[in-house]
Structure 1
């Protein structure tokens, strides 16, 4: 029988055993779940980070796409995994910030996921099909006020960055449009290029490729200032909606309850990766501002974003 005295006596051993376990992490492959379909920004950035983690740890980092319910199928899967650091999640805004859109989830993202680091932030780009009679944001607002039923905007799904950026614009510009949700950004952008929808607030990392196709026209970036990747493209604020600003972000998250030393190690390594000189030019090309941060800083940032978007969901009555 373990007495109180015996338990106290073995505490130093438990501490040293735990330390050794953390020092040896990882000693087997890691699964990195991307909770959306392949081809979008989350998938692109997730694979970049996964590759860097694999090279750093000398272990395979297997990237798996588990799409559905705006990321919640994959996120719930991760939330129920063993909290040992071997199952990680690419965190996205629908999962970690705007989950109140889905009131009947089988898990609570705010209480079951731990944010280890912020990969980076980026603005969106307001893209329209060439058939839309708008060459700038002022034209788009006039068109929306004259014929609101004529404009449909696509998104990667309810609560996604591509949805939230548009909803903020509708609120701040005082206009109405019809939301057409898709199961992923790539499906929405395909219909935008085909003319089935008229516009999209696409994440900058993937918007750049769409712009190069010549099948869409860019009107503005959604950040507070112009993007170094698109220096000649003005912001929405510059074009008559001065209070408007929107940026998207992605994180690396894990099931709540990771051993503190494992969480600390993963967080430090994620910070090191996103700020590594080898990725600087890649981030610049994609228009991504790397962030990183500690576990505490990352969780605080995500919580503040959740508060902001919960208010938007309530004010705009976006709940499903």
Structure 2
């Protein structure tokens, strides 16, 4: 008799499991995956977004740092997740460049995801050591062409935005400059300020203190419009290279197949985030500017970035693995 009761209870429990799973799943927090360690720019902006979106959606959003392979580990986890809106990716611009830098990625940076929206951009600034006499891009290019293969540029490491910005500059300006990779921007700064490596592209927020104290000279901004942080510094595009644009960017992505209703609700919440003056102010401290786009517009933007940087990476013969 006892065995019969236990068996009946087990059968009943099994029958109820889908109901329990659904209820628990509905109560689960949204997981926002970040492919980099805590404290970096991607992580900080992700947390600013998560906090405000959670308030609007009246749910919990938990930021999970899954660092590895320049963000590929987190992206792979989201690509494989159920398209139920419970797992999202906060993707930086390396999401587009990794497609060409790394072989055998287990996901497609475009087809494996649906964009919720573009959040922010962080333009770079081209800086030189003041020992370089050039004060604008035109004169600097002339200087580089007089010294082919003799001028070096710094980057945070191979394949980073700093590196790729310089490679695109080489292609557009037709100059021959040599790459010197460092282990992060902080490691490059002493040599840049000391003049051992005379030029670098990097985030405005990183370079601004050194521009303000005169230890580095800005020549141009890499976005197509001037930056509010350096309004008197022209863009590379307006300096004679209209096809030149380099942006660090951050987008909120969901797994492919996520329903329109969920994408729409998250996009509405994201619009409120980027309209928040407090968010805009905190973003500005990181050198960032709001750059909201629709889900479809963000998907198209990322696809264009993948194609653009693929050409640059192949032309420069850059490969990480």
* TM-score, normalization by structure 2: 0.76
Q: Does residue 156 of structure 2 align to residue 155 of structure 1?
A: yes
Q: Is the 8 A contact 1:154 1:200 kept in 2?
A: yes
Q: Is the CA contact (8 Å cut-off) linking 1:154 and 1:197 kept in structure 2?
A: no
Tell me which stretches of 4 or more aligned residues in structure 1 moved more than 6 Å.
Answer: none
Instruction: Give, in whole Å, the separation in 1 of the partners of 2:26 and 2:154.
Output: 43
Contact 2:155 2:184 in 1 (8 A): no
**In the alignment, does 2:78 pair up with 1:78?**
yes
Partner of 1:234: 234
Deviation at 1:285, TM superposition (A): 5.5
Tell me which residue corresponds to 1:310.
310
Change (3 A) 1:70 1:217: farther
Deviations 1:76-116 (A, max 9, x none): 23323343333322212221355123233233223222221
Quote the Cα distance in structure 2 between the aligned partners of 1:311 and 1:79. 24
Residue 144 (structure 1) aligns with: 144
- Following the alignment from structure 1 to structure 2, what is the Cα–Cα distance between the partners of residues 25 and 279? 30
Q: Deviation at 1:117?
A: 0.7
Taking a change above 3 Å as real, the CA distance of residues 50 and 179 of structure 1, as seen in their structure-2 partners, is farther
Aligned residue in 2 for 1:87: 87
Q: Which residue of 1 aligns with 2:271?
A: 271
Deviation of 1:130 after TM superposition, in Å, equals 5.2
> How far did 1:174 drift?
1.1
The 5-angstrom pairing of residues 176-187 of structure 1 reads 176-181=176-181
CA distance, structure 1, for counterparts of residue 193 and residue 55 of structure 2:
37
CA deviation after TM superposition for structure 1 residue 213, in Å: 6.9
Assess if the C-alpha contact under 8 Å between 2:41 and 2:286 holds in 1.
Answer: no
Question: How far did residue 126 of structure 1 move?
Answer: 1.1
Contact 1:40–1:206, Cα closer than 8 Å, also in 2: no
Q: Distance in 2 between matches of 1:187 and 1:67?
A: 21
Q: Which has the larger radius of gyration?
A: 2
RMSD of the alignment, in Å? 3.5
In structure 2, what is the equivalent of residue 299 of structure 1? 299
Aligned residues of 2:148 and 2:177 also touching (Cα < 8 A) = no
Partner of 1:172: 172
CA distance 1:296–1:176, change in 2 (3 Å): same
Give the secondary structure class of the aligned counterpart of 1:292. Answer: coil
Are the counterparts in 1 of residues 154 and 182 from structure 2 also a CA contact under 8 Å?
A: no
Structure 1: any 5+ residue segments left out of the alignment?
A: 1-16
| Residue segments in structure 2 that go unaligned for 5+ positions in a row | 1-18
- Check the 8 A contact 1:228/1:284 in 2, yes or no: no
Q: In structure 1, what is the Cα distance between the partners aligned to 2:87 and 2:129? A: 39
Between the aligned partners of 1:196 and 1:32, the Cα distance in structure 2 is 41
Separation in structure 1 between the aligned mates of residue 32 and residue 190 of structure 2, nearest angstrom: 26
For the residue of structure 2 that corresponds to 1:109, the secondary structure is: coil
Distance 1:243 1:291 in 2: 20
Cα separation, partners in 2 of 1:256 and 1:188, compared to 1, 3 Å: farther
> How high is the TM-score relative to the length of structure 1?
0.76
Deviations 1:142-181 (A, max 9, x none): 44331534413203541x4323322211111111223344
Q: How many residues align?
A: 299
SS in 2 for 1:263: helix
Confirm or deny: 8 A CA contact 1:40 1:185 kept in the other structure. Answer: no
